[in-house]
Chains A and B, each alone.
Chain A
Amino acid sequence: MTCQHCQELLTDYQHGELDAASDAAIYAHLESCAQCREELAAQSALSQVLRATFASELEMPTSVLAGVRQAVRRERAPGLIEALRALLRPVVLAPTAAAIVLAVGVVSYVHGTNSAPQLSADYFVQQHVAHTMDSQSGDRAWNAYLLTSNPDATANAPAH
C-alpha cells in the first residue's frame, strides 16, 4: 500500500467504515509509516475540535436539509444498468423467470384454445352426411336436403 492510497482512506479508517481487509492493510501501513501516522493524528485532532464546537444540537436550515435529502435520493436512485444488475440477481431472476414462463404458458394456452373458432353441430352433421351418401341407412332426398341447407355458410370458393 502506498502513502497516497493510505491517506485517501484515512477518514473512513478513522470512522471504522472500511472492510476488514482494507482496515487491516491501513493498520499495517500505519505501523510502518510515520508520515501517515501523523496525518491520522491531525485528522483525529480536527475531528475532536469539530465535535467540541458543535456539541450542542443545532437546527439545520430547511433548504440545506431539503438539499441533503434530494442528494441522498439521487444517490440512492439506481441507474438503468444498476437496476438491470439488481434484477438479474439470481434471487430475483429465478422466481421472476418462473413467473414469466408460467404466465406465458397460461396466456398461450388460453389464447390458443379460446381464439380457435367454434364449429357448429350442423357442420359436423353435414360432413358426416357428405361422406356417407353411399350409406344404405338413409334416403337420398333427405341427405341431399341436409347437404344443401345453408349453402352460403358452406360455400367457400367459386367453381371453375
Chain B
Amino acid sequence: MLPRTDRAFFFLLTLATLLVLPGAALAAQDGRSLYAQAVGADDHVSYSGTLTSVVYEGDRAASTVARIEHKEPNSWRIWYLAPADAYGRMIVSNESLTYQYEPSLSKVFSHDWSQTAPGVAEPVNIAQVETNYSFEVGPATSLAGRHATSLSLVSKHTGGLVQRIWVDDDTSLILRRETYTVDGSVAAESSFDSIRIGVDLPDGLFKLAVPNGMTLVASPSVGKSTTDTAQLVRSLDFKFAAPKYLPDGFTLLRGSVASRSGVNTVEFVYGDGLRTFSLFENATGKLPLFDRATPKPIAIGQADGVYADVAGQTLVSWNAGGLNLTIVGDLSTKEIATIGASIHP
C-alpha cells in the first residue's frame, strides 16, 4: 500500500496525463486538419491579389511582385510587375497547359506542366507530409487585412522548423509562407500584400489563346516524368549511379530524361512531402557554368565539387567516374554532400 502522499501524487499525475494527452492529440489533429484545408483551399476559392515573393541567396535577395487572379478550381492568371526583366510577362494556366505571354518578344511560350510535374493538379499527399512533419498551430494574427492563424511544420527527424504558413481563418487560403534553412534563417518568403476573395472573374480572362501578331512556341525542353525509373535507367547510354543514402523521410518520386545541346541528362526527383531535391547525371564530365552566382569549393567524398545558391535552391555539382553529377534542392549543402558521397559511379 502506497503512502497517502504518494497516492495523491499518482492521482494528480494520472489526471494531468489524461488532461494533457488528449489536448496534444487534438492540437496535432487540428494542425493536420488546418494544413489539409490550406493546401487544398484554392480548389474551392476564387481570389485576386498581389503577391510578393522574396528568395534569399546568401548575402543577396531576389524578389518578384505578381498580380494573381485565380478562378477555382484550377484557372490561373499571373501578371508580373517586378523584377524589371519580367515586367509585362503574363502566365495563363489551367494547371496542366500553361501559356507564357512575352509581349517584348511577340511570342507565346507553351508549357505542359502536367507532363513534368504530374502532381501539380493533384491533391497534396498529406499522409507523406504527416509522416515526416508535425503540425504546430500558432497564434492568431492579421495579414492583408484578414484574420489568419499560423501553422508551423517541424521535422520529426531533426526537430527543425522547415516551413510556416499563415492560413486565412475564413477560407483557409495560405496568405503568407516562410521556408527556413537548416540553421533556422529564412530562405524564402511570399506574402499577399492585398487580396480580394470570392471575386467573380470572367472565364475569358483565363482563355489559352494566341493574340494576333504573336507566335506560339513550345518550351522549355523539359523531360516527361515517369515513375518507371527502372526502365528509365535501362534506356540511358551511360550507367546511372544511385545514392545509397537519403535523408530521413525522403523517397524516390519520379524520373525523366531531357536533352539539351546534345547532352542527355537524367533527373531523379526525391521528396519527403514538403522538401524536394533532384539528382542529375550526364556523361559530360563537366561542371555547370554559373552565370548568376559564384560557386564555392566543396568536397563530395573524394571528389572536388562546387556549390552555390541559385534562385533559392542549393546547387552542388561534381565529377566522378566520367559523369557530371549535380544535385539541386532545398536542402543544406551538408545534406547534399552526404547524399553525394554515397553515390559511386
Interface set, chain B 111-135, CB cutoff 8 A to A: 111, 113, 116-122, 124, 129
**A139 in contact (CB, < 8 A):** yes
Is residue A149 within 8 Å, beta carbon to beta carbon, of the partner chain?
yes
Q: How many residues of A contact B (CB 8 A)?
A: 43
- A154 to B265: give the CA distance in the assembly, Å: 15
How far is B76's CA from A144's CA once the two chains are assembled, in angstroms?
Answer: 11
Given contacts A149-B85, A158-B217, A159-B216, contact A122 B291 (CB under 8 A): yes
Q: Are A155 and B118 in contact (CB under 8 A)?
A: no
Taken together as a complex, chains A and B put the C-alpha atoms of A33 and B161 apart, in Å, by 116
Q: Among A43-51, A95-103, A129-137, which stretch is in contact with chain B?
A: A129-137
Residues of A within 8 A of B (CB): 113, 116-142, 144-149, 151-152, 154-160
When the two chains form their complex, are residues B218 and A136 in contact, meaning their CB atoms are under 8 A apart?
no
> Are the CB atoms of B290 and A121 closer together than 8 Å?
yes
- Which A-chain residue is minimally distant from B42 (CB atoms)? A140
Are the C-beta atoms of B86 and A125 separated by less than 8 Å? no
Contact mask B293-318 → A, CB, 8 Å, 1/0? 10100000000000010111101010
Any A CB within 8 A of the CB of B251: no
Instruction: Determine whether B33 belongs to the interface, using a CB cutoff of 8 Å to chain A.
Output: no
Q: A139 and B222 in contact (CB under 8 A), knowing A144-B91, A151-B109?
A: no
B280 interface contact, C-beta 8 A: yes
Q: How far is the CA of A157 from the CA of B225 in the complex (A)?
A: 19
**In the complex, are the beta carbons of B86 and A149 less than 8 A apart?**
yes
B11-19, B256-264, B337-345: which one contacts chain A?
Answer: B256-264
A139 touches B276 (CB 8 A): no
State whether A130 touches B222 (Cβ < 8 A): yes
The answer to whether B117 touches A133 (Cβ under 8 A) is yes
Partner of A131 from B221, B256, B260 at Cβ < 8 Å: B256
Residues A145 and B86 in contact in the complex (CB < 8 Å), given A127-B223, A137-B274, A137-B275 = yes
The answer to whether A154 and B219 touch (CB under 8 A), given A118-B284, A132-B117, is yes
Interface residues of chain B: helix, strand, loop or mixed (majority): strand
Q: Find the A residue at minimum CB distance from B328.
A: A128
B163 to chain A minimum Cβ distance, whole angstroms, is: 7
| Chain A residues, CB < 8 A from B222 | 126-127, 130-131
| Interface residue ranges of B241-289 to A (CB < 8 Å) | 254, 256, 258, 260-263, 265, 267, 269, 271, 273-278, 280, 282-289
B151 close to chain A: CB less than 8 A: no
A139 CB contacts on chain B under 8 angstroms: 51, 53, 177, 188, 190
A142 touches B286 (CB 8 A): no
> Are B291 and A113 in contact, CB atoms less than 8 angstroms apart?
no
Question: Could you say which residues of chain A place their CB within 8 Å of the CB of B111?
Answer: 130, 147-148
The answer to whether B195 has its CB under 8 Å from any CB of chain A is: no
Whole-angstrom distance from the CB of B298 to the nearest CB of chain A? 14
Are A116 and B286 in contact (CB-based, < 8 A)? yes
Kindly report which residue of chain B lies nearest to residue A151, judged by CB atoms. Answer: B109
- Quick check: A132 and B188 within 8 Å, CB to CB? no
Residue contact A142 to B312, C-beta cutoff 8 Å: yes
Contact of B220 among A140, A144, A156 (CB under 8 A): A156
Q: Which residue of A lies closest to B108 (CB)?
A: A159
Q: Are A136 and B129 in contact (CB under 8 A)?
A: yes
Contact A147 B220 (CB under 8 A): yes
Determine the distance from Cα of A5 to Cα of B269 in the docked complex, in whole angstroms.
89
Residues of A within 8 A of B261 (CB): 117, 119
A157 to B216, CA, bound (A): 10
By the criterion CB–CB under 8 Å, are B313 and A128 in contact? Answer: yes
B315 to chain A: which residues have CB within 8 Å? 121, 124-125
Distance of A142 Cα from B63 Cα, bound (Å): 8
Which residues of the partner chain B approach A116 to less than 8 Å between Cβ atoms? 263, 283-286
Q: Which residue of B113, B276, B311 is within 8 Å of A146 (Cβ)?
A: B311
Q: Which of A124, A127, A133, A155 sits near B109, CB closer than 8 Å?
A: A155
CB of B329 within 8 A of chain A? yes
Does B116 lie within 8 Å of A124, measured CB to CB?
Answer: no
